[in-house]
Amino acid sequence: MLRRRRAGRAPVPRRAGKHQNKLKFIMALNNTTDLTQHPPRSPRVRLGGYAILPRMLDKGRATIAGKQGEYKFACPLDQRFLEFAGIDPEALRKELAGGKGDGEILEWIQKNAGNKHTEPEIAAWSELADKRAPADVESREFFNELHQKTAPKREDIVTWFDLLDVDDYVSFGGKA
């Protein structure tokens, strides 16, 4: 930002101070997804090729704003991304609290990831995440119970992402 010009002088750049940082934080809170009103983005939506990431960012921003509803930031699904990328959830939360947008957060992740991956590795990981289904008896029981509650007549619910998408839809008034 530039200060107003005084007659005959060049503009003087402002330094980012506490006031500007606070203003940026307040603006971020006002533009935060309210997860008490609608769900976060689908886990299938990708940012930088990463599945799960946009959904996790929605939950993180909503948590900071106190608008997370029943959603949890850094839940087991989020942990899959965090472990793959090698990102500390508290460090990510701090970046989100600074009011950064998706593109800025992606740049931060690419710079700070403990586990650097190529585009093909990220694509393969995201594809695997998209197709992941319950693997053990306990997980299958939980999956089937939630499936029966949310969409008992739907035979196309096979993966965890399928279940999350339909659960989000039904939780906000949709009919499965």
**Segment (H or E) for 62:** helix 53-65
Give residue limits of the domains in the chain: 18-131, 133-176
| pTM score, whole prediction | 0.81
Give me the mean pLDDT over the 74-84 stretch. 97
Q: Which residues contact 170 (CB under 8 A, 6 or more apart)?
A: 150, 151, 176
How much of the chain is helix, strand and coil, in % rounded to 5? 55, 0, 45
Q: How many helices (H) and strands (E) in the chain?
A: 8, 0
Which of the two residues, 76 and 1, has the higher pLDDT score?
A: 76
Is the Cβ–Cβ distance between 47 and 55 less than 8 Å?
A: no
